[in-house]
Amino acid sequence: MGGNCQILLINVILYTKLFGDCFVKRNYGVQFLGIGSALPSKVVKNADLEKLFDTNDEWIYSRTGIRERRVVDKDESGLSLALEASKQALENSKLNPEDIDLIIVCTATPDMLYPSLSCMLQGELGASKAVSFDLSAACSGFIFGLVTASQYIYSGAFKNVLVVGVDVHSRFLDWSERSVSILFGDGAGAMVLSSCDVNNDELLGFVIKSESDKKLDLTLTNNNVHFADLSKNIEANFVKMNGKAIYQFAVDVVPSVVNELLEKTSMKSFDVDYFVPHQANKRIIDMAAKKLGFEESKVVSNIDKVGNTSAASIPLAIHHAILNKQIKFPCTMVLVGFGAGLTWGSALVKLNLKSV
């Protein structure tokens, strides 16, 4: 009887990663091996935008927390940024491109609709053994990418996974219009995840969610010429946003999803070393941190220097904080993203990136 109970207990432990209402069978754990990031060379300061429309540095900063952002130049692209970030992450991980089994590129602004950015990155890296695909969840992309990667690792399907968040929104902004163009910047961030013993899992839990944006409060259309409409003018493909609606969405879901995750993992905010939110707006970041009880020293943010880099924002913020010696290892982090779709999610991770 005792032996059977012991076997039952072992099986329960292997199934106790409770996400949503389902138990997930884990054969392995997830370990975070390395991180990298990349920004374009061109810096656009708030003062530069004064030449395009009626604004000034103080107006932009007081509403967004942004002083400057980076945008791609003619010889730069989502691929070039993803490649640089990936090379750094691989170097930190002490892995070769041939060691990577899976590449997930999280982006809503790929260089081309096809071939996928992930397949192009695979070729540039020389990751000949990898399977590659793109994942689109807008500014929540990196959270969704980590969750997706973890499932392949838990099942034993793949050992080493490269997850890249990259977006180049500067190609899809109406630079004559103030409300959206002041927000976005281009960039890339990458992390390498690898399998480890199930008891050493560094992904402590996650929650991901979505709902239909029926009012289309945040959109980037893909308007093309229809055969029957060859004579009609084509509307430009620019990001459009109902700022008030998206702001309210963010301030509602960020504390809610983080609290849900902390409850599921039996943790409190004081158990967490760092809070890393999507870098969309400093007012959202400050409000969420206050509601959740995270003091300023625990909040990781670089929005003043890079703006909203969408799917790249979370790994970019982490990597920049590491390089600036703002993070001490080992540590526990709550990551949270939200974006178009609508999508949102949070992950609780344990990091010990000694080689960065």
Q: Which residues are catalytic?
A: 139, 278, 308
Residue linked to tokens 């703002």: 326
Angle at 110 between CA 344 and CA 323, to 5 degrees: 70
Distance CA 275, CA 295 (A): 9
Ramachandran region, residue 216 (left: φ > 0; alpha: ψ -120 to 50; beta: rest): left
Ramachandran region, residue 94 (left: φ > 0; alpha: ψ -120 to 50; beta: rest): left
Distance CA 144, CA 343 (A): 9
Q: What share of the chain is helix, strand, coil (3-state, %, to 5)?
A: 40, 25, 35
Strands (DSSP E) along 7-97, which ranges? Answer: 17-19, 22-24, 29-38, 42-45, 68-71
